[in-house]
Amino acid sequence: MSELVVFVLDDPQKCDQVINAWLSQGVTGVTILNSMGLANLADCDIHPMRDDLPLFPGLGSLMRSREECHRTLMAVIPDGFDIEALVAATEAIIGVLDEPETGILFVIPIGRVWGLRHKQD
Average pLDDT of the segment spanning 22-29: 94
Distant-in-sequence, close-in-space partners of 90: CB < 8 Å, separation ≥ 6: 7, 18, 21, 22, 97, 105
Whether the predicted pLDDT of 109 surpasses 60: yes
The domains located in the chain, with CATH, are 3-109 (3.30.70.120)
Report the predicted TM-score, pTM, of the whole model to 2 decimal places: 0.74
Q: What is the pLDDT of residue 113?
A: 84
Q: Is 62 left (phi over 0), alpha (psi -120 to 50) or beta?
A: alpha
Distance CA 90, CA 32 (A): 15
CB atoms within 10 A of CB 114: 4
pLDDT interval class at 8 (50, 70, 90): very high
